[in-house]
Amino acid sequence: MRPAHPVERTVGMAHYVSESDGVGGHLRDRTEDFRVRELEAFDHEPVEADPGAYPHVLLRATLRGWDTNDFASALSDALGASRERVSWAGTKDKHAVTTQLFSMKNADPEAVAAVDLSDADVEVLGRTGRPILFGDLAGNAFEVTVRDADAPERADAVTADLRAFAGGAPEDPDAPVGVPNYFGQQRFGSKRPVTHEVGLSILRGDWEGAVLAYVGNPSEREPEATRDAREYAAETRDWAGALDEFPRHLRYERSMCHELADRGEGLGAADYRAALETVPTNLQQLFVNAAQSYVFNRILSARLARGLPFDRPVAGDVVCFADADAPEGLALPDTDRTQRVDDERVDTVSRHCERGRAFVTAPLVGTETDLDGGEPGEIARDVLTDVGIEPADFDLPGEFHSTGTRRAVLVRTDLTVEQDPLTLSFSLPKGSYATVVLREYLKADPDALS
């Protein structure tokens, strides 16, 4: 195990599991260097199906350099329709070539197929009875090119280490690789990873601290004017003056400052909570979700430090089983089907894990979390004590509430490496991050992965 990059350690990723030095280099030098294709798991009817029963037109779009939201708006504009009629299964990065599914309600399939947008290829697949929704995909396939690698030949040693971590033979070319199923840096903010700090303050009942974690808390990776504005807000609590300092594009910081300025003097917890509630509901949810993700990352790092396996359980672990409806070749955890492992069941469940039928999990803590037993439970309790929260703290108002769930601790994938240029190809289940695989190869500043 090697210590992770300092920026990664701030979000709970304490280690690399591969001992080899990294290849260096960076990603996304060109749009074509990062290709993502959704692994589809959404049934549809033929285009000729009854529009009354199947009012949504399903389409596959291959996009070059498009933000998902921007494409949805451009598509609806091209068809003279409301943006609210467009839905999709997963948001993708703008700096990539992406192939993904969209649906559009009450659209003419021929008109959709005829849409002509720059750097976008649209294919109509059929009709569906409901819109495609976030999460309506099994996973994603990636093809990623690393540019300016210092030592591309090191990729083989990294791959061997990751095969061993997955429980296979390092020299077996057919063995999958495995990495801890960390939440990637982008979960917390690529340039300024603070969303988990906001969430932890909320969970501790420190609403003022939550606002200051978001509005203040300057990062060296930000422009000087932005750093100055954050420092001014944190030091003076002059919210009206801070509005003059913050650049216009930082609209969420400005909305919080505006709310606090309107509320005048003698601000209390309710005022700071109201300021946080000025941001979109999905961002309010993200704050608490990021805190859960940080705790999860810390639990995985502690499991690594204790030398516990990831590819098989120990007594006290909670495992989940594979989703029977997952596409062929993709092992997809079903966290709604779980079982606690006792001493008598360790060997049997280990065989299920080896065959891809079960997965060791750790908690994404919430009000309904039942912590593991044995040593895994000790790890979770130690982390929660260290960060100063407990499951009951997630019993919060509105969008800040969370019941919690579980998540697999290991993500396995078949991976191929090609040289000149160095290119990595692999697939991951939904919810897993390509960067947690790529970081093992580059061992670079997270900026090089974004």
Q: Is 93 a catalytic residue?
A: yes
**Longest pairwise C-alpha distance within the chain:** 67
Whether the Cβ atoms of residue 284 and residue 198 lie closer than 8 Å to each other:
no
Give the per-residue pLDDT at 246: 95
Give the per-residue pLDDT at 64: 95
Give the per-residue pLDDT at 53: 96
Helix (H, G, I), strand (E, B) or coil at 151: coil
Give the per-residue pLDDT at 109: 95
Burial 310-328 (b: 16+ CB within 10 A, else e): bbbbbbbbbbbbbbeebee
* Choice among 29, 67, 93, 342 that is catalytic: 93
Provide block-wise average pLDDT over 10 residues at a time, the chain (450 residues). Answer: 93 96 92 94 93 96 93 94 92 91 95 94 96 90 95 96 96 95 91 94 96 94 94 95 94 96 92 95 93 98 97 97 80 91 95 93 96 96 96 93 96 94 95 95 90
Cα–Cα dist 179/413, whole Å:
9
DSSP class per residue in 274-337: HHHTTS-HHHHHHHHHHHHHHHHHHHHHHHHHHT--SSS--TT-EEEEE-TTSPTT---EEEEE
Give the per-residue pLDDT at 327: 75
Residues 263, 222, single domain; the answer is yes
Give the per-residue pLDDT at 70: 92
Residues 151, 26, single domain; the answer is yes
Domain end marker among 227, 257, 279: 279
Beta bridge partners of residue 413, listed in sequence order: 177
Residues 84, 8, single domain; the answer is no
Task: Examine residue 421 and say whether the peptide bond preceding it is cis (omega within 30 degrees of 0).
Answer: yes
Whether the Cβ atoms of residue 256 and residue 211 lie closer than 8 Å to each other:
yes
pTM reported for the whole predicted model: 0.93
| Residues spanned by the domain of 363 | 286-408
Residues 275, 302, single domain; the answer is no
Residues 78, 123, single domain; the answer is yes
Residues 219, 330, single domain; the answer is no
What total of structural domains would you count in the chain? 4
Give the per-residue pLDDT at 225: 94
State the residue for tokens 């709970």: 12
User: For residue 174, how many other CB atoms are within 10 A of its CB?
Assistant: 8
Among residues 156, 92, 100, 203, the alpha carbon closest in space to that of 419 is found at 156
